[in-house]
Amino acid sequence: MSNRTGKIISITGNMIAVKFTGDIIQNEVGYVIDGKRRLKSEVIKIRYDVAFMQVFEYTKGIKVGDTVEFSGQMLSVWLGPGLLAQIYDGLQNPLPQLAEEFGFFLPVGEERDAFSLKVKWDFTPLAKKGDKVTAGSFLGWVPEGIFEHKIMVPFNVRGDWTVEDIAKKGKYAPDRVIAKIQSDKGKTIDVNMYFEWPVKIPITAYRQKLPPKEPLVTKIRILDTLFPIAKGGTYCIPGPFGAGKTVLQQITSRHAETDIVIIAACGERAGEVVETLREFPHIEDPRTGKPLMERTIIICNTSSMPVAARESSVYTGTTIAEYYRQMGLNVLLLADSTSRWAQAMREISGRLEEIPGEEAYPAYLESRIANFYERAGLVELHSGDQASLTIGGTVSPAGGNFEEPVTQGTLKVVGAFHGLSRDRANARRFPSVSPLESWSKYRSFIEKGLVDTAKEILFKGDEVSQMMKVVGEEGVSLGDFVIYLKADFLDAVYLQQNGFDPVDAATTADRQKYLFTKIVDILKKGFPFRDKEEARDYFYNLRHSFIDWNYKEWRSKEFKKQEDKIDVLLKR
């Protein structure tokens, strides 16, 4: 298969056409040889003896007639111990290592191993000679940070195999053979601690996919209570610029109750990734007491990095996420932003001169989006354990208009929609998730009746507030005015949350249940106010005490004291 080459016959932007002989594979990786540089590229269209390839680097300086070497492999990532806490570009090159070698700027045409093959890992076997295994079966494990990193039978083997030999407990490098397995047809293969997997093919070495049921606690009140996410579910966050998409993702990545978080920063500002990668090593994960970085992997292909690699970064992130799911872990993949990924597809499609769909996005946009979100899911592994991959993607709609193709294509396939509103952001009501527009198909850990009551008040309150804009405060009845105040109160003390305060930033499920029940009681309660002034004063007071309450540590002395204060207010 190797040693097949081609010659470049045309160049437009990052798209090259290559005349080849022999056989090549769709999505095969090739390298443009330009002097000493080797520019990684991927076959995306084949017509007769011409392959159209997208180049993952800037194409400045390459010539018609330059040689392209085909690798015989599809675009793949390495899967094995050493991935956690890493920072990769869209093609799984470790960025800190590139920085060490090449300084401030990203080099062109340089590839590095995703993790070191020299580091030795403490291997403990789980399988023994004679065990029946299939793709994804656990052969052993190594400690990786706080996790038991399972060493598995590579996902590309088919059928039933038998363990012929397995290494004893000991320290091994990832490329050392730790097992020999034999198929029922008598073929034997060596297994070491890492292998490669093509990023565009989902990993399906599990028994079955299950419907997502259990909520994934993000500790963001408006999400967990009103628009919950489920483990193994999908959700999207569309919003105009400045509405706080990235901040919301960052807060989620810190506090979400999940084993592993993978951040795919795709075509967004480099500055935002920098905050994550400079701060995470120093923030303690409250659940484990270890730095947050130890449960995090960052795939970072910011807006000024080459476009084609941006397209692949989302797949790179998903593949690594699926790999950890195979170990029985709950993984959360945050993609920011899927619009940039879609735009990368649009750029490439334009260069291929495909017939454009709406807003020049390719006709296959929706199916690509669907395929991506479908890689999420709660699964039952062959071992019988359950594991999940949850995917949350931000969408950056042009002009903040949700009617555009990427938002619409996404809404069709996700289980929850957290629409951010510019009005709420301008009014500094954060998180700026719109309580009126958003929805979720998943169940919250809070009783449905309570949630419905709250939603009803929100909708009615909004109606009253619209009315007041026309007829003024004088024009609405006292009863309606109280509903408006109740909705405003719920918004201020529960839906809004201060992401910069150490206590208020994260509200546990228990606290949410406690707080929300109390608030719904107030929403249901009738108040004998004499006039609007009195009602307003009362609710403003109540709001103030509840906000103070939110800043007190759960179940602390001050928490109790503040609650007593509130109870006195409520008895009046």
Give the interface with other proteins as residue ranges (CB under 8 A). 9-13, 58-65, 87, 95-96, 98-99, 102-108, 240-242, 267, 269-271, 273-275, 277-279, 300, 302-305, 307, 340, 343, 346-347, 350-351, 353, 356, 359-361, 396, 398-401, 426, 472, 500
In the complex, minimum distance from the CB of residue 297 to other proteins, in angstroms, rounded to a whole number: 14
Rounded distance between C-alpha atoms, residue 384 and residue 158, angstroms: 19
Nearer to other proteins, 166 or 299 (CB): 299
Phi/psi at 29 (5° precision): -90, 135
In the complex, minimum distance from the CB of residue 67 to other proteins, in angstroms, rounded to a whole number: 14
For 493, counting Cβ atoms within 10 Å of its Cβ (0-12 exposed, 13-18 middle, 19+ buried), the class is buried
Rounded distance between C-alpha atoms, residue 103 and residue 112, angstroms: 15
Nearer to other proteins, 225 or 301 (CB): 301
In the complex, minimum distance from the CB of residue 235 to other proteins, in angstroms, rounded to a whole number: 20
In order of 332, 449, 546, the CA distances from 459 in angstroms are: 32, 16, 22
Contact 77, 320 (CB under 8 A): yes
Query: Would you call 97 helix, strand, or coil by DSSP?
Result: helix
In the complex, minimum distance from the CB of residue 62 to other proteins, in angstroms, rounded to a whole number: 5
Nearer to other proteins, 64 or 568 (CB): 64
Among all chains, which residue has been given the structure tokens 């990532």? 77
Nearer to other proteins, 328 or 405 (CB): 405
Backbone CA torsion sign across 146, 150, 151, 157: negative
Q: What angle do CA 538, 544, 547 make, to 5 degrees?
A: 140
Nearer to other proteins, 302 or 330 (CB): 302
In the complex, minimum distance from the CB of residue 103 to other proteins, in angstroms, rounded to a whole number: 7
Nearer to other proteins, 156 or 426 (CB): 426
In the complex, minimum distance from the CB of residue 394 to other proteins, in angstroms, rounded to a whole number: 11
Amino acid at 363: A
Beta-strand ranges (E) seen in 280-423 are 296-301, 330-336, 377-380, 386-395, 416-417
Contact 84, 295 (CB under 8 A): yes
Rounded distance between C-alpha atoms, residue 98 and residue 82, angstroms: 17
In the complex, minimum distance from the CB of residue 94 to other proteins, in angstroms, rounded to a whole number: 9
In the complex, minimum distance from the CB of residue 568 to other proteins, in angstroms, rounded to a whole number: 23
Nearer to other proteins, 111 or 257 (CB): 111
In the complex, minimum distance from the CB of residue 68 to other proteins, in angstroms, rounded to a whole number: 14
Nearer to other proteins, 285 or 336 (CB): 336
Nearer to other proteins, 139 or 299 (CB): 299
SS3 sequence, 230-257?
Answer: ECCCEEEEECCCCCCHHHHHHHHHHHCC
